């Protein structure tokens, strides 16, 4: 099965995003559109959905980590 990197899209903010909450755990199936992670960017809460069906194989950003646009949040298989 192939791995798909889920990256933080360019949200148009100058500062990095901070991970608030992961809605999915590693090893669990996800459906396209399911909320994966909630981020805080310059005071705004943003939810990143799953871009496709699969299994959440690995989360690379932990709670409270700061990440930049284009960084890999997780991998789906």
CATH number for 52 = 2.40.50.100
Q: Is residue 32 a contact partner of residue 6, using CB atoms and an 8 Å limit? A: no
Report percent pLDDT > 90 for the chain: 77
Sheet hosting strand 66-67, strand order edge to edge: 44-49, 35-41, 17-22, 66-67
pLDDT, one tens digit per residue, over 20-42 is 999 999 999 999 999 999 999 98
- Say how many domains are in the chain: 1
Residue 1 reports pLDDT greater than 70: no
- Between the alpha carbon of residue 40 and those of residues 16, 50, 71, the distances in Å are 9, 18, 15
Instruction: Please compute the mean of the pLDDT values over residues 44-63 and round it to a whole number.
Output: 95
Residue 73's nearest CA partner among 42, 1, 11, 44 is: 11
Task: Provide the residue range defining the domain that includes 61.
Answer: 4-76
Instruction: Quickly state the pLDDT bin for 13 (edges 50, 70, 90).
Output: confident
- Between the alpha carbon of residue 9 and those of residues 1, 19, 27, 28, 63, the distances in Å are 24, 14, 23, 23, 18
């Amino acid at each position: 099965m192939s791995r798909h990197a889920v990256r933080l899209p360019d949200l148009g903010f100058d500062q990095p995003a901070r991970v608030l909450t992961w809605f999915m755990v590693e090893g669990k199936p996800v459906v396209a559109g399911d909320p994966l992670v909630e981020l805080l960017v310059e005071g705004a809460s943003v939810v990143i959905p799953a871009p496709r069906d699969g299994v959440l194989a690995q989360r690379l950003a932990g709670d409270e980590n700061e990440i930049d646009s284009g960084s890999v949040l997780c991998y789906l298989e």
